[in-house]
Chain A
Amino acid sequence: MANVLVVTSGKGGVGKTTSTAALGAALAQAGERVVVIDFDVGLRNLDLVMGAERRVVFDLINVVQGVAKLQQALIRDKRLENLWLLPASQTRDKDALTDEGVGRIIAELRTKFDWILCDSPAGIERGAMLAMRYADEAVIVTNPEVSSVRDSDRIIGMLDSKTVKAEQGERVTKHILITRFDPARAARGEMLSIDDILEILATPLLGIIPESQDVLRASNVGSPVTLNNAASAPARAYTDAARRLMGESVDMIVPAERRGLMNRLLGRRAA
């Protein structure tokens, strides 16, 4: 039973592509057959984060328009053999996507994969609408700040009204993934707290990804953070989130401020 999962947010730059790659790789590591699709036509990034940018021949638009077969456009990951990428076109724009074409591709992928992860572009226009159109589940990526949370709220409203599931009277299963969470700033009250975010969005939490240099480092070398440094804090948080997606119950770890011995001594002295 294939699961179509859209990774979306409304706002740009919150970590949709990073999260798609990290969750996709974590699911594939757990033995699931996974394909990640880049819906950001014209501004593609997922191929870079996955480290597959030098192997792109055909893309999503070619398949939508019937120029290439799905098998020709799918790129197999070099590290995980059950992880595949369907890249976006960089030379076209979102108008090249059609509802019918996307529906056909998703239906075909459903027969071949366990998980179909759709990396949504930012915004609420055609690309984002078609990325969520056929979703069974949604991961809403949110940063702990008001603008991101409000945009997420807007996207949740659209998931409840504009998807095929919603039109059939069913519901898209929604999860909140909080990224770029900085425990030190949260402790100082400079960020929205986890409770505030969940209270505003009234949607279950999938995971909390701490702000970390490891994320940027992994992107730069073209590797999902869960593969690049599996022991790092963000990688562990993404792996836990992926396990929750598969239905396991995993304790939620709220990232806490790590203070060294010296810090603690200094802190005590200052107090």
Chain B
Amino acid sequence: MGATAEATRQLVRMRGRSYVAFVFTPEIPILGWLAEIDATLARSPGFFVGKPVVLDLSALDLSGAAITHLVGNLEERNIRVLGIEGVDAEKLTTSMPPLLTGGRSCVITRTEPATEPAEKPEAKPKPTSLLLESPVRSGQSIVFTDGDVTVLGSVGSGAEIVAGGSIHVYGTLRGRAMAGVNGNSSARIYCQKIEAELLAIDGYYQTAEEIDASLRNRPAQAWLQGATMKITPLN
């Protein structure tokens, strides 16, 4: 009999585990400190809901009654105190949260409580064009693979523009322009004045040498016709 009872007995297994808790360090006057808590709650109600909170009273010298009163005040605000730190063990009665020791500070990653969904900023659609209001200087490289690039100014010799879509230059294009880099063969390159070092659309390219001299210094566009790049004046 005794042997069977022995075999079925469940062992109580204990494990240690650590958790991150908010630590409150109340300051004198306590009423003023509670007002601060109220202000925080007014800004984000429910901030402390469901979060473990520890009271660090090492900076204060409160009597047992005062501690009970403080814990009660916090409970009224829906803040449940998990444990108390920094007081003499004899001040805490059994009805109070237990004494904690050996806490280590760590960084709290603030996950703001999900407020009303209406307030949530709508996920903005990714911009599909890039506007540059100043000239692109030699040595600068503008890479925008999500769509068109528009430059209000010139693109200097030795500068490059790489775009997933089309490229528009309202100035002189002296550098390199590479459009449709994601395999968009309908992308085009437009410029007010063509003096480009290199034009490329979807991998097909022409260097300055191959660009017809009669086009130089004129408004022009480049596009793909099958596997050949066409460059024509715009007017």
Which residues of A are at the interface with B, using a C-beta cutoff of 8 A?
124, 146, 150-151, 153-154, 156-158, 160, 199-200, 202
Chain B residues, CB < 8 A from A158: 137, 139
Q: Are B154 and A200 in touch, CB under 8 angstroms?
A: yes
Chain B residues, CB < 8 A from A146: 157
Chain B residues, CB < 8 A from A202: 135, 153-154
Q: Does B134 have its Cβ within 8 Å of any Cβ on chain A?
A: yes
Q: Are A157 and B137 in touch, CB under 8 angstroms?
A: yes
- Rounded to whole Å, the gap between the CB of A242 and the closest CB of chain B is 27
Q: SS class of chain A's interface: helix, strand, loop or mixed?
A: helix
* Bound Cα distance from A119 to B65, whole angstroms: 74
Chain A residues, CB < 8 A from B134: 160
Q: Does B158 have its Cβ within 8 Å of any Cβ on chain A?
A: yes
Can you list 30 contacts pairing A with B, beta carbon distance less than 8 Å? A124-B139, A146-B157, A150-B138, A150-B156, A150-B158, A151-B138, A153-B137, A153-B138, A153-B159, A154-B137, A154-B138, A154-B139, A154-B158, A157-B136, A157-B138, A157-B139, A157-B156, A158-B137, A158-B139, A160-B134, A160-B137, A199-B154, A199-B172, A200-B154, A200-B156, A200-B157, A200-B172, A202-B135, A202-B153, A202-B154
Q: Does B58 have its Cβ within 8 Å of any Cβ on chain A?
A: no
In the complex formed, the residue of B with least CB distance to A124 is B139
Binary flags per residue of B113-139, CB closer than 8 Å to A gives 1, else 0: 000000000000000000000111111
- Rounded to whole Å, the gap between the CB of B217 and the closest CB of chain A is 11
- Rounded to whole Å, the gap between the CB of A196 and the closest CB of chain B is 11
Q: Which bracket fits the contact residues of B?
A: 10 to 19
Question: How many pairs of A and B residues are in contact by the CB < 8 Å rule?
Answer: 41
Chain B residues, CB < 8 A from A153: 137-139, 156-159
- Rounded to whole Å, the gap between the CB of B152 and the closest CB of chain A is 11
Q: Within residues 3 to 31 of chain B, which ones have a CB less than 8 A from any CB in chain A? A: none
Q: Are A200 and B137 in touch, CB under 8 angstroms?
A: no
* Bound Cα distance from A46 to B56, whole angstroms: 65
* Bound Cα distance from A160 to B139, whole angstroms: 13
Chain B residues, CB < 8 A from A199: 154, 172
Chain A residues, CB < 8 A from B136: 157
5 other A-B residue contacts (CB within 8 Å) besides A157-B159, A160-B134, A200-B154: A153-B138, A153-B157, A153-B159, A158-B139, A200-B157
Q: Are B174 and A156 in touch, CB under 8 angstroms?
A: no
* Bound Cα distance from A157 to B154, whole angstroms: 12
Kindly list the 4 A-B residue pairs having the minimum CB-CB distance in the complex, ordered from nearest.
Answer: A157-B137, A153-B138, A154-B138, A154-B139
- Rounded to whole Å, the gap between the CB of A113 and the closest CB of chain B is 30
Chain B residues, CB < 8 A from A124: 139
Chain B residues, CB < 8 A from A151: 138
- Rounded to whole Å, the gap between the CB of A9 and the closest CB of chain B is 13
- Rounded to whole Å, the gap between the CB of B197 and the closest CB of chain A is 11
- Rounded to whole Å, the gap between the CB of B88 and the closest CB of chain A is 50
Q: Are A156 and B154 in touch, CB under 8 angstroms?
A: no
Q: State which of B137, B157, B158, B172 has its C-beta within 8 Å of the C-beta of A156.
A: B137
Q: Does B140 have its Cβ within 8 Å of any Cβ on chain A?
A: yes
- Rounded to whole Å, the gap between the CB of B200 and the closest CB of chain A is 21
* Bound Cα distance from A156 to B174, whole angstroms: 16
Chain A residues, CB < 8 A from B140: 157
Chain A residues, CB < 8 A from B159: 153, 157
Chain B residues, CB < 8 A from A157: 136-140, 156, 159
